[in-house]
Amino acid sequence: MPHLGAQVVEHVRPDQRGDSVYVYYDLTGCQPGDSFFVSLFVSLNGGASYQGPKEMVAGDVGPGQVGGQDKCIRWAAQQEIGRLSVAEIRFKVEVRQTHSLDPDVLAALTGSFVKVEGGTFVMGDLFGDGLDGDEYLDTITVSTFWLGANEVTWASFSAFCGATGRALPEETGWGTGPHPIVNVSWYDAVAFCNWLSRTTGLTPVYTIEGEVVTADWQANGYRLPTEAEWE
């Protein structure tokens, strides 16, 4: 069950760019493992009343959010209400705590890692029996990186689903609990990485907007191995 937190939304500040308004805010007073549902409300009458929660939003909004500074909600204001001027609109960010992880569960989520030394190797179809005609050989250099010693378990993925409202896979494979999670999509996997990064105070690697996913390789959060790292 969520514990009674002292989380506070501070410094709500809008920034108009193009057809969207970017609403920045700070969410303070949170504990590691806390998860929140964040909603955006707007007022068109000087704060007398507010509309919302707004639906055409992306970024640090919705379920599975955690505390931090300079969090950002992108709102498609022009598309949703036909108005853009931030001088005419007041903004309110509301948070509702939905989940709190036990410290022992949080420790199990992060697990242990092994160091994989970087190096240079030939990547591609070495034997000429690949199915794709473009499987050419290329010399690739991979930097040193850390890889989880074990696969993500059902228990860990269940904690993620419980915090974000995401559905668990119907097929369990060899079992649940300590067994590896199966039957999840690539999108589920990157969402799990981002959630784990936020939960442990790291910067998420991925930016997810619908089915478009971009990666910030300089971020210090959790991510999936690249194709070259897998090889």
Average of per-residue pLDDT across 40-49 = 91
Which domains, and CATH codes, for the chain?
A: 8-100 (2.60.40), 104-230 (3.90.1580.10)
Average of per-residue pLDDT across 11-23 = 91
Question: Is the pTM of the predicted complex or chain greater than 0.85?
Answer: no
Average of per-residue pLDDT across 141-168 = 85
Question: How does residue 106 score in pLDDT terms, banded at 50, 70 and 90?
Answer: low
Question: How does residue 91 score in pLDDT terms, banded at 50, 70 and 90?
Answer: very high
Question: How does residue 6 score in pLDDT terms, banded at 50, 70 and 90?
Answer: low
> H/E element holding 30?
none
Task: Tell me what pLDDT residue 72 has.
Answer: 94
Q: Compute the distance between CA of residue 167 and CA of residue 165 in angstroms, rounded to an integer.
A: 6
Mean pLDDT across the chain: 82
pLDDT at 229 over 80: yes
Give the number of C-alpha atoms closer than 13 A to the C-alpha of residue 159, restricted to the C-beta side: 25
pLDDT at 134 over 60: no
Provide CB contacts within 8 A for 157, sequence distance 6+: 168, 181, 184, 192
**Three-point CA angle 138, 144, 146, nearest 5°:** 120
